Structure 1
């Protein structure tokens, strides 16, 4: 009787600490360079396609390894000078040193690859791109973490994969007034010696700042995130000095309390310290009522293009529109303004309150909003009988199986799927059987980053 062959041990051609020379072949969806050494896949952060680098192995697994660049031996001709002083340490804008033309081509390729390899979806139409006119200073919201380093606070964003705050004077993706407000607060926090939260010890007072700003109205809203407690009176006096607040166009100062052991910035309790707890944003002819926690697209310039695209796909069609995962009602209100009858559904109470107030602010009566999970709404869908179009704008995890099943049962004539994750988009398109892709466009909402926003029009076959 023959003995079974022993299972062959996989030979990994490198070990941690080895230096190897690598040609960067492509960019992964994570924004890291991809190379191969003796057939073994290696990820190379801070490297671009057409680079040649000497890299040190920092991690190995059975399927891939991770490296760090020791020396760049040859640089791609598409590399540009990154404007940010803390690039690439911060990690928020992984491809800031790549030409914008190549950034857009990369994002289209990511969608193509996801459709082909994850969803195995055969798309008969070309993937078009809508690049940003403003590839810098476009973000209208910053959520800053604060960490004490020495005697001074570090204010910035967490380095990728860590809880270490990368301090910076300016982020080049943020609108400039946001940076000015943050630096003014830095001076106040240092001047009054506010206790800085220590995540490891779960001790200290101030743990974060949130600044929201509108490019069109000029209004801003400020949030200070702390553990339980009150601000010193002298700090509050300087914070709420009316001439300074007017200079920054701040409409309200909100005290957000987050006493949980987490690196999530915002807690659930809000107290208004000065002014009002909202500000006004404007897109096109629409005004929006936005509170501190409410969701809104972070790129208003590209949002106008995205909403206009959705309108062009929906406006001339009959029947009502269901805006699923409607957030604060951005797409709902845009379509209602264009004459559509819209039902917006979202599970967040604060989002729905903002959406209803924005509808009143704009005098729109053809949209209504429901606070409910989409799974429940689609399972009990009698009130959706008039719906002929569904607009889906889910979180990164995409649609749950219950949502996909509910959509297929409702049988809308068309679906507009707005996605921030090509992988889950491809997965969900494959599950939406009986629908064909009629148009697909990559709208660059996040220049300088690897993140991708895609809009897809599907029609029932």
Structure 2
């Protein structure tokens, strides 16, 4: 069956039409004519697999990674990078027009990544046995089939070298993959690094790591912080278990970022592309003009955005529900001499209701998870008198749905997409909203 690909889907797949029914085709690019096999047909859409490409896009290239078609993590690696940026802008535009009727002229071009390979500063990879060897890799999409990934091209080069050395030590000391029945073995490996200093967390069952293993790991060049996490819950999306054990080195990993000195704990979130994180923070700061009395950041994590905005207000409060991150953030505020910046552990909507009743909030910065702002948060914002909102989003669909609600009280001023993850369909978006003036 022949299909012409008309646009790109939110997961990086091509979308064509058969008798007006949309067909999602992984590995196909816009303007390509492909011969496909329909593998699943629903009432409102179908899924197809490419048999052969009849007419290739001029933007198609050979992917750098030989696992690209199996892994599924970098579906856009088959396209030239400038074209990837156009795809991402188009997907963002589709979502914002579909859900919120945002004027497309307010959506700027995607700011490109400084590096398109070797940009990720962290990985969280499952571990399993492969040919009698403990490997780190991934499970194929929608399956339990494990693939040992020996080289990932979007990870920083030194981070990949550290992964290989850690796996060599674990194998030399006889560690096995996780067994749910025995609640024993290595489940995941998480490593994050800045400036050739690395924080490693080994997620296990109810095991104790051998002293000799800990000693060997700490002797690795650049190993700075070593942790273990006990995780025996069978079905959960969480990587880390509820129990964290500090093993050796320093508890926190330092990061110098565009004039800020930060420290990060293993479970704390930080942007995966360090260079683009700077571009993201600069973009947020550029949207906040003048000096304000009071800024609030919701979902503040380790406090990087609030601290980056330290010169924008006389007082800044960050709200975060994860206790570890709040402790981390307040340490970072003290480390950077920011007595006027503080962080509280609370539900974002609950605390924002309290603050908006007590104070006039000049600017609210929100950086929610992929699920976006919940109903309680949206209702709180609409009832408040917050003048401006800077909305940082990693999900175009939830951003569009949230903007549709917020536009009853706010104008969308501008939308700036930033490419944090080359070769993936994801794009970070910063949107400035300004409260509408009430008619007298």
TM-score range normalised by the length of the shorter chain = over 0.9
Tell me the equivalent position of 1:16. none
Cα pair distance change 1:384/1:144, threshold 3 Å = farther
Matching residue of 1:105: 86
Confirm or deny that 1:82 pairs with 2:63: yes
Tell me which moved more, 150-159 or 220-229: 150-159
Partner of 2:204: 226
The corresponding residue for 1:385 is 359
Please state if 1:450 is matched with 2:425.
yes
Residues 137-188 of structure 1: CA distance to partner in whole angstroms, max 9, x if unpaired?
A: 1111100101112311231123222333322222111111111111112211
**Cα offset, 1:338, TM superposition:** 5.2
User: How far 1:360 sits from its partner (Å)?
Assistant: 1.3
Equivalent of residue 155 in structure 2, options 160, 171, 174: 174
Match of 1:353 in 2: 327
1:300 corresponds in structure 2 to 274
User: Using the alignment, how far apart are the partners of 2:205 and 2:146 within structure 1?
Assistant: 18
Contact map agreement 2:127 2:135 (CA 8 A) in 1? yes
Structure 2 gap segments, 5+ residues each: none
Contact 1:388-1:414 within 8 A present in 2 as well: yes
- Tell me how far apart the structure 1 counterparts of residues 127 and 103 of structure 2 sit (CA, whole Å): 47
Partner of 2:48: 67
Cα contact 2:366–2:390 (8 A) shared by 1: yes
Q: Following TM superposition, by how much is the alpha carbon of 1:129 offset from its aligned partner in structure 2, in angstroms? A: 2.3
- Post-superposition offset of 1:274: 1.1
| Closer/same/farther in 2, CA of residues 34 and 385 from structure 1, 3 Å limit | same
Q: State which structure, 1 or 2, has the greater radius of gyration over its C-alpha atoms.
A: 1
Could you tell me how far apart the structure 2 residues matched to 1:206 and 1:386 are?
50
The within-5 A match list for 1:82-161 is: 82-122=63-103, 125-161=106-142
How far the C-alpha of 1:384 sits from its partner, in A, is 5.1
Among 261, 265, 275, the residue aligned to 2:249 = 275
- In structure 2, the residue corresponding to 1:408 is in which secondary structure? helix
Aligned with residue 441 of structure 1, among 407, 412, 416: 416
1:323 deviation in Å?
A: 0.5
Instruction: Give the direction of change, closer, same or farther, for the CA distance of 1:123–1:400 in structure 2 (3 Å limit).
Output: same
Match runs of 1:25-44 below 5 Å: 25-44=6-25
TM-score, length-scaled by structure 2: 0.94
Distance 2:91 2:182 in 1: 40
Residue 37 to residue 362, structure 1, CA distance change in 2 (3 Å):
same
- Measure how far apart 1:135 and its partner are: 1.4
Report the Cα distance in structure 1 between the residues aligned to 2:105 and 2:133, rounded to whole angstroms: 57
Whether the aligned pair in 1 keeps the contact of 2:295 and 2:313 (CA below 8 Å) is: no
Are the structure 2 counterparts of residues 379 and 312 from structure 1 closer, same or farther at C-alpha, using a change threshold of 3 Å?
same
- Which residue among 219, 228, 241 is the counterpart of 1:255? 228
Task: Tell me the secondary structure at the aligned position of residue 178 of structure 1.
Answer: helix
The answer as to whether partners of 1:202 and 1:261 remain within 8 angstroms in 2 is no
Native 8 Å contact 2:183 2:232 kept in 1: no
* Mapping for residues 4-23 of structure 1, pairs under 5 Å: 20-23=1-4
Uncovered stretches (5+) of structure 1, i.e. residues with no partner = 1-19
Cα distance between partner residues in 2 of 1:411 and 1:291? 35
2:208 is the alignment partner of 1:208: no
* Alpha-carbon offset, residue 397 of structure 1: 0.9
SS in 2 for 1:447: coil
* C-alpha distance in 1 between matches for 2:136 and 2:82: 32
